[in-house]
Chains A and B, each alone.
Chain A
Amino acid sequence: MNRSADQTEANPLREGLSARAVPQPCSVVIFGATGDLTHRKLLPALYNLAADGELPPAVTVIGFARRPKNDDGFRTEMEEAVKKFSRQAVRDEIWNTFSQSIFYHQSDFADESGFKTLAERLDKVDKERGTRGNRLFYFAVGPEEFEPILKHLKAAGLNKAREGSWARVIMEKPFGRDLASACELNRLVEKSFSEEQTYRIDHFLGKETAQNILVLRFANAIFAPLWNRRYMDHIQITAAETLGVESRGGYYETAGALRDMVQNHLLQLLCLVAMEAPTDLSADSIRDEKVKVVRSLRHFTVDHVAANVVRAQYAEGAINGQPVPAYRKEEKVDPKSMTDTFVALRLHIDNWRFWSVPVYMRVGKRLPKSATEISIHFKKAPMVLFNRETNEANVLVIRIQPDEGISLRIQAKMPGASFRIEPVKMDFHYGTSFGKASPEAYERLLLDAMSGDATLFARRDEVEEAWAFIDTIENAWSAKKNAPDLYFYPAGSWGPDEADELLARDGRAWRRL
């Protein structure tokens, strides 16, 4: 959203051509180049950017991984991946030139010499391809690999850029598994890269609809007066998926839904919904406001966790008419696992604007449908005149995925002689109104990192504040005495009854998706 700080001298020929910060030529070094993320997301995203003319021609991709492979072998592998996962068909003319910018660097992450040869290779690329000493290091690896990579990047001098150039690092989640490990990880990163150089990715923020939350709130005057405790009754955020843990059982056992989804994606969405208007669109102005929301979350005491948080795990059931096994029977999962695959929470934002507006969140696997949405439930109209018999509230829904869009539920008079009132929906669908497909989140985020725009990346204090909040819940769950129960729900249902009761106690119900 903002212009990069390092673009001190604007290109006069760009005036009127680009409404966004322009990405700089650079080398993108991907650690974990043979992994799933590189195949499914990163290379397809880079290809799509190249095909759309968004990528500076000099951009060079260097895959860094342990497996023995040469440049040609890596290119062939990437071509297959891009053909399989790209949102647009692969064209030979584009691939042939784009693939010439892809290289492979074989080394163990623990091998210091591999980083020295990487530095030499990057210097060579700078000279041959005009990448001008700009380097973007993408950590598409597990957090256990961060330390050796960071250490060796520093030893090879790759953490510092030449004058007029930059070095940046993009880190994938999970960024820690609690506050202590996140702080430790941040300290580790800080030894090699400054906060300005560090881009913690949360792909939810790269989604068009997530970005549109700010536009909806701050480019439309009608919502601002309603966006507070006086008019809002409550907020719901749902992230549901039909998938189970698939092949990620090993990872999921160490994480669970609360760490995997709530700590990052859902709290980020809440921040966008609840933040105050930033002073400008710079990365830090926006992130300053977001972090205030997380800081304002009322922390639970151990006793309050059971009353405000419901954890559950899916049991055997059916999705789309197909039987699916219980979580405990999934591959690499402990048969006595206590891991949460579903969480429902009642949160309170203790600030002037949202005091007494509860936020209900639910996230789960093996739910009946896949959908992520935020709904703002407004207070009901007085029960006089038209609302004596039925009294539905106005609901503003922001659909993040799929079928991205916004809808507003209002009351309307049914045709006829009597005053019968029914709710109707005013509905905006991105796919209907705009023919152009939205870019993938990774495309946007890679481009932002190349442009030096950190707006859509999480800052250190945001991550740590989020973990501080999550820790209070995790600590209660892991307590030896009086730990809140783990409930079970059949796969294909909307979670345990206790999740419904969480709202029913307040006289509310989950929105039907």
Chain B
Amino acid sequence: MAAETFSLGQSVELNAISRELKKLWQEGEGAMTRASLINLAIYSEKPDSLEKNTQLIARITEDHACRALVIGANPKSKENRVEAWINAHCHVGRAGGKQVCSEQISFLLEGPCIKFLPSIVFSHLDSDLPLYLWWQDDFPKEMDPQLWTWVDRLIFDSRDWKDFDAQMRLVETAEQEARQRIVLCDLNWTRLDKVRYAIAQFFDHPASHHHFAKMENITVNFASGFKSTAILLIGWLAAQLKWKTNQQQMNGSCRFLDANGRKIDIELREKAGDPIAEVVLNSRDIKFRVAPAKCGDLLEVSRSGENEAALPQMMPAQSNDPVDLMTQELLRGGPHRVYLHAIESVRGLLSRGDSPNRH
């Protein structure tokens, strides 16, 4: 169902937001139902981010009712400027009938007043609902610790980071400063969801577990700009299968050792196409392959061996569209312990100039 509007909506005074929102709902009473499961705050310093994020929110709210707080910031400006708008994104619900609406409050913050970000966010939260903060820029060195105490889930895309190590340290510091546990949600990790699912299903039957001990080499083809995604995938395999780095990355290849000291060679190759264009895991006698199907939104998965013909099957693929990534992330919930383990396994690879923007 298409969203109805992408405009920022009605301009409002900062101290009149609640009142104006109330009026908005009174006008639509009867035909509209307000729904909200989370507070979703989006922070960006890109010049046209308010409009772009409004478009994203319009689509995200089709599946995830929320109160959206969209913040466009320009900390470099010398002059203080604060503007606010209110808006509603309405969709006809699955059962038809009334429109289900999510509200959006947008803020433009320029100049030194950016330091009031936590107070602006806090004063407009829908009470009792968790706060998801989607940070679309690099994290600055100085962050108000007050903000972190309210965040339940911190969403970011590590693929965009220029310095993985420094950024991860800032995130970890923020997490330590928070009085509650923040769940770190990396959209670069979400990007791997369906590929991980497709790989994992090969090994669901205990009779296939012996292949873990026979794994010889893995090849991952990735699109330009997605090297960190490919490294994260390797990090996941290494963490879950208890492999340790043996040889650092050289010319797109590296080596891990399993618990018995056996070598597993990894080859990462840039290739035009999907973010993860192909994954091939070769055990001694079986080849496990996951690759995007020609239609684009499905994965073709197959296993083949000397005495085993390949039986390709289709599974859902993860789109790289930010709305689809966010929808998937919001759907998943729960802690992301496996992600933290994956990061630990390949921290060196991610930090040593292997970040996507330096491939």
Contact = CB atoms under 8 A, between A and B. Distances in A.
Interface string B23-67: 000000000010101000000000000000000000000111100
A16 interface: yes
Given A17-B197, A436-B63, A437-B94, A51 B316 contact: yes
A193 B24 CA distance: 62
B316 A57 contact: no
Nearest to B300: A97
Interface string B194-216: 10111111011111010010000
Contact of B206 (A9, A50, A51, A436): A9
Nearest to B63: A435
Interface string A6-22: 01110111111101001
Question: Most A CB atoms within 10 A — which of B194, B200, B331?
Answer: B200
B62 A17 contact: no
B228 to A, nearest CB: 19
Contact of A432 (B65, B240, B308, B313): B65
A7 B208 CA distance: 13
Interface of A: 7-9, 11-17, 19, 22-25, 50-53, 56-58, 93-94, 97-98, 100, 128-130, 132, 164, 402-403, 429, 431-437
B199 A403 contact: no
B314 interface: yes
A97 B314 CA distance: 7
Contacts, number: 106
Contacts of A7: 206
Given A93-B295, A94-B298, A13 B206 contact: no
Contact of B315 (A9, A57, A130, A436): A57
Interface residues of B, number: 50
Contacts of A431: 93-95, 100
B33 A435 contact: no
A13 B313 contact: no
Contacts of A434: 37
A389 to B, nearest CB: 28
B204 A25 contact: yes
Nearest to A6: B206
A19 B197 contact: no
**Helix, strand, loop or mixed for chain B's interface?**
mixed
Interface of B: 33, 35, 37, 62-65, 93-95, 98, 100, 193-194, 196-201, 203-207, 209, 212, 236-237, 240-241, 293, 295, 298, 301, 303, 308-309, 311-316, 331, 334, 336-339
A86 to B, nearest CB: 15
Nearest to B339: A16
Given A53-B315, A94-B298, A94-B314, A432 B93 contact: yes
A402 to B, nearest CB: 7
A431 B197 CA distance: 27
B204 A24 contact: yes
B311 A57 contact: yes
Contact of B65 (A13, A56, A132, A433): A433
Nearest to A51: B316
Nearest to B317: A53
Contact of B37 (A8, A13, A23, A433): A433
Question: Most B CB atoms within 10 A — which of A8, A132, A431?
Answer: A431
A434 B98 CA distance: 15
Question: Most B CB atoms within 10 A — which of A14, A51, A128, A435?
Answer: A435
Contacts of B295: 93
Contacts of B200: 11, 13-14, 17
B196 A17 contact: yes
Contacts of B100: 431-432
B65 A53 contact: no
B291 to A, nearest CB: 14
B93 A93 contact: no
